[in-house]
Structure 1
Amino acid sequence: MSANSNLQMSSWPQPLAALELIKPITWFPPMWAFLCGVISSGGALTGNVGLIALGLILAGPIVCGMSQAANDWCDRHVDKINEPHRPIPSGRIPGLWGAWIAIAMSVLALAVSWQLGPWGFGATVFGVLAAWAYSAEPVRLKRSGWWGPGLVALCYEGLPWFTGAAILSAGAPSVQVFGIAALYALGAHGIMTLNDFKALEGDRKLGINSLPVTLGPDRAARLACVVMIVPQIAVIALLFLWGKPAFAVAIFAALIGQVLAMRVLLRDPKARAPWYNGTGVSLYVSGMMIAAFGLRGLEAAL
């Protein structure tokens, strides 16, 4: 009997496979965005260390991890084509364990978020529902190259930023904080489009209409670049308008670096998308933190 057959017959998931299922590498974006929200709120940091730490754990390991488990469970047929080595199609997470892990983590997310007050709980309810709407039938928004990446971008960048700011402010964030968070969430739609390149073959076979499938790699990559650039230009303009020119110039420098990386990306989008995710995207999220520090204390200065 093959090793893979033994895995399929096992009734318990492998511990390392369960960790792989919730993909720790994906936790960084929402945790970073949550921290941007905390910084941008202008709230005291030293007296809220425990609250901030709980929010970071909720945004990354719990909510993002839950969304990854839900996505892998709902995508198990796609992954047989694209990535058969993943925990569920490989049999390292057998039976219904993938679904049970995702459901249990959904409940855990709601329980933990209750400790963060109404804003934290409300944002988490939205995030949990969005994760299942993205992956699960009959909604399965990931079938759309527009709604799917847009929802993920919102939940990875905009929602955690808003939540971090709301928790530290103990109320609704300022219009300025909300606007910058929304702009970076909009720009992240382009990042999510580039992320879809890795599943191009399986998406074509199974009718998932990602932008790389419907537009082709070249046009999808060009569109993604425009979607990333335009919101950042708006952020730069707003920071100048609000009297924060040093922060605007720093973000502009990061944007120039992204444009140079985009020129490399567009030579061969399918092959270079993973490279861009490690270079251009790093500059994008660096700009987010620069903007967060620019927003800190802004409301009092206006």
Structure 2
Amino acid sequence: MTERIDGHTLLIGLMAYPIRHSMSPTMHNNAFAKLGLNYAYLAFEIDNKKLPSAIESIRTLDMRGSNVSMPNKQKVLPLLDKLDPAAEMCGAVNTIVNDDGILTGYTTDGIGFMKSLDDEGINIRGHKMTLAGAGGAGTAIAVQAALDGVSEMSIFNLHDAEWENAKHNVDLINERTSCHATLHELEDRDDFKKEIQDSYIYTDATGVGMKPLEDKTLVDDPSWLRKDLIVFDTVYAPRTTKLMKVAQEAGVEHVFNGLGMMLEQGAAAFKLWTGEDMPVDYIRHILFDEDAAAQK
């Protein structure tokens, strides 16, 4: 790292809270080094309160851009100059690109979700998905999955601040894609169980399972899960979430955390910042080897 950083190094950030667990700095800095690119990627713990001044610092410091994650993916929209069409449709941003002080927001989460499943040889197109969560990641996943050909989607959310966004997501999907989406109350446990059992894939795009809720899961009964169901938890710290443990107890064959999604959404952001393709196989080797070592 010290050999790469000089007076010409451009900074790229990650703004979220909490964020010290993130693998994104490891991913991007290793990719920069591999390709000989003069960038540095740092994580900053930024919540909604600090977000406006943090976004302005991208311009002030002439940063190349930044990732944003929970809880900032939707709050950041009015702070930007332009939105990519996909980000506008999702109403959420996870990647910002700074072009001479003009900040453009993009979303790569949905791309990362679908590509990570493709990497595992799993095709959910033409099938039904039950999705929990309608925040930034949940919205991006829902929209991209619908655009890519998922035929039916049951979206569950609490009656909280994201409920109206969930309604908007359903309307948008039904109006602009061939996917049939329905909205359900997460408080209705019987309905939640029924829809999961009727699905090809269950995806949890909430923050349940990560700190400080690492001992929690929306699905705590293994009998809800079939062995041939695909279970995908977008959380990747801890590597094995409570949901994943329940799925493993149920004998589910295909259980994933969000590490692959994180890798592929990062590759898409990397391309936006640098114009270069991330050396994905090289980075996957680093991330997954470190992940395996951490579990020993």
Taking structure 1 as the reference length, the TM-score comes to 0.32
Return the structure number with greater helix share: 1
The normalised TM-score by structure 2 is: 0.32
Q: Is the radius of gyration larger for structure 1 or structure 2?
A: 1
Higher RCO structure, 1 or 2 (CA under 8 Å, sep 6+): 1
More strand per residue: 2
